[in-house]
Amino acid sequence: MSGAARKIRLIMELRRSGVGDTRVLSAIERVPREMFVPAPFVDQAYENTALPIGQGQTVSQPLVVGLMSQALEVGERMKVLEIGTGSGYQAVVLARLCRRLYTIERHRSLLAEAEERFRALGVNNITSIAGDGSRGWPEQAPFDRILVTAAADRMPKTLFDQLAEGGIMVLPLGAPGSDQEVQRIRKRDGHPVVERLFPVRFVPLVCGNLPE
């Protein structure tokens, strides 16, 4: 089966599995996932599975990317913060949906590789830094939307504080090795309104000094 046929099969699978937002499906279809996985896994780029990218991290399962992006309800004029750049795959999907994406990654080597991919794809509405994602990006706040791609034990108040009134944050919550679930948190009158969405398994959100 050709790469194009595998991509079509994946998009159909995502639609059957609950990703009904046509903008999200179009964004995923336009992103060449094979650019975001190590060479030994290129033949699996359009399988609906997470794949390792080094540093104990993964490029997320396409279904999770689709469902989380859909839950974020991103408009084309919005300013979005992503915590956990990883390979850059989710970042490029979001960049196709919003006006400006800000993304933070702790691992400098992963960030450098992701930035090379952004340049190769000509995606010019992403601003990225190496940093502690749990602190957010206060200099650029507030954000209309925040997506967190690592699991926290509880809602990070620092990130919620950087969310604009009426904004949405989507993130996995739960301790490592335990049940985790994606939640959508809306900011209404300065308070969180929580929706529980679906179970997941993510790496933990790490605070503190960056690795060398």
User: Which residues are designated catalytic?
Assistant: 60
DSSP secondary structure string, 139-200? GG--EEEEEE-SBBSS--HHHHHTEEEEEEEEEEES-TTS-EEEEEEEEETTEEEEEEEEEE
Structure tokens at 77: 């004029």
Which residue in this structure is represented by tokens 């699991």?
A: 151
In angstroms, the Cα distances linking 132 to 25, 82, 86, 190 are 30, 12, 13, 24
The CA-CA-CA angle for residues 54, 55, 56, to 5°, reads 90
d(CA 153, CA 173): 6
* Amino acid letter, residue 28: I
The whole-angstrom distance between residue 104's C-alpha and the CA centroid of its chain comes to 11
The answer to whether 95 and 126 have CB atoms below 8 angstroms apart is yes
